[in-house]
């Protein structure tokens, strides 16, 4: 009976994690270059979560009490979505595999993104949409342009960014040796944890366009309904097990008079 409580309770926790993931997908349906996340379960595979501290607590309970599948991990779509033409001079999209390289302000920490909806800061540096990260050139320097003439930016066929007749530089586009070794870290950024950085010679940058999100709202809504039903079923089982345990303790376990 106690085992049944743990099994149903852990099942509810697992579905709750999946529900949070679906909600995050739906919140990013219009986020440029967002890759849809999905939760995968694997029966009794503890080793899979050694590098996922955010899920270790759930899996430690499964390991201790059993009765529910382990959360194998959170993966995301590896294929790019379609491209939307925006007509905006500061919008860029990567065709093929690869990532823009960005640097956190005032530090040397490098991150990577597919989202090319850039803005200009007060110094004329290209930055990510939230302004927190500077976009880097091939030389590893911040891409700087004349903010007063931002609409004059043109990207040639070779991937070089010009402002009028002045060459402003080329984007630093990189890829990684193993797509599975790259992790999302939030803010539409990626970081490698088990992959080496490599060149991306086949990648092409397109101006005045953005990669769309891979989230399909219809698919996510269907998954949300299924997950809600699974969550409700597990909670109902918790109530049933609790009621049965209550009777065992307070009725059948009562000493005879």
What is the domain range of residue 57? 2-79+227-252
Residue 256: predicted pLDDT: 61
Among the listed residues 92, 36, 76, 94, the one whose alpha carbon sits nearest the alpha carbon of residue 214: 36
**Domain count for the chain:** 2
Cα dihedral sign, 77-171-149-130: positive
Assess whether 201 and 128 both reside in one domain. Answer: yes
Same domain, 206 and 138: yes
Q: Write out the H or E segment, with its range, that includes residue 155.
A: strand 153-155
Q: What is the pLDDT of residue 49?
A: 45
| pLDDT score for 46 | 45
Question: Do residues 26 and 90 share a domain?
Answer: no
Rounded CA-CA distance 123/183 in Å is 31
Nearest residue to 138 via CA among 110, 172, 114:
172
Q: Are residues 115 and 96 in the same domain?
A: yes
Question: Looking at the domain assignment, is residue 59 inside a domain?
Answer: yes
Q: Looking at the structure, do residues 140 and 154 belong to the same domain, yes or no?
A: yes
What confidence score (pLDDT) does residue 15 get? Answer: 87
> Is residue 61, in this structure, part of any structural domain at all?
yes
Q: Is residue 220 part of a domain?
A: no
In this structure, are residues 192 and 182 in contact, taking their beta carbons and an 8 Å threshold? Answer: yes
How close are the terminal C-alpha atoms of the chain, in Å? Answer: 26
Assess whether 38 and 90 both reside in one domain: no
Residues 88 and 206 both lie in one domain? yes
Query: Residue 217: in which H helix or E strand, if any?
Result: helix 217-247
Residues 140 and 194 in one domain: yes
How far is residue 29's CA from residue 217's CA, in Å, rounded to a whole number?
Answer: 7
How much is the pTM?
A: 0.79
pLDDT of residue 196: 92
Residue 127 sits at the vertex; the CA angle it makes with 194 and 132, to the nearest 5 degrees, is: 70
Q: Are residues 206 and 233 in the same domain?
A: no
Whether residue 221 lies inside any domain: the answer is no
Phi, psi of 42 (to 5 degrees): -140, 130
Whether residue 51 is found in the same domain as residue 166 = no
Q: Please, is 12 exposed, middle or buried when counting C-beta atoms within 10 Å of its C-beta (0-12, 13-18, 19+)?
A: buried
- How far is 141 from 123, CA to CA, in rounded Å? 14
Name 38's Cβ contacts closer than 8 Å, sequence gap at least 6: 21, 74, 75, 76
Whether 7 and 116 map to the same domain: the answer is: no
Q: What stretches in the chain show pLDDT beneath 70?
A: 1-3, 41-72, 252-257
Is 241 within a domain?
yes
Same domain, yes or no: 232 and 200: no
């Amino acid at each position: 009976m106690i085992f049944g409580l743990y099994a149903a309770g852990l099942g509810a926790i697992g579905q709750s994690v999946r529900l949070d993931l679906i909600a995050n997908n739906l919140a990013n349906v219009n986020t440029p270059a967002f890759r849809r996340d999905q939760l995968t379960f694997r029966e009794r595979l503890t080793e899979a979560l050694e590098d996922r501290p955010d899920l270790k607590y759930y899996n430690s309970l499964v390991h201790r009490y059993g009765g529910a599948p382990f959360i194998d991990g959170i993966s995301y779509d590896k294929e790019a979505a379609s491209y939307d033409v925006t007509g905006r001079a500061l919008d860029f999209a990567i065709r093929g595999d690869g990532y823009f390289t960005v640097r956190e302000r005032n530090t040397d920490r490098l991150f990577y993104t597919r989202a090319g909806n850039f803005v200009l800061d007060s110094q004329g540096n290209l930055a990510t949409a939230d302004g927190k990260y500077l976009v880097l050139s091939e030389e590893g320097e911040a891409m700087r342009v004349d903010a007063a003439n931002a609409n004059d930016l043109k990207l040639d066929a070779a991937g070089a960014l010009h402002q009028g007749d002045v060459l402003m530089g080329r984007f630093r586009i990189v890829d990684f040796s193993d797509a599975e070794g790259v992790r999302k870290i939030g803010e539409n950024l990626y970081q490698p944890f088990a992959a080496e950085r490599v060149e991306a010679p086949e990648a092409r940058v397109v101006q005045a366009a953005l990669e769309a999100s891979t989230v399909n709202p219809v698919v996510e809504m269907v998954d949300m309904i299924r997950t809600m039903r699974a969550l409700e079923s597990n909670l109902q089982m918790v109530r049933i097990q609790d009621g049965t345990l209550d009777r065992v303790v307070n009725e059948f376990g009562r000493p005879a008079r």
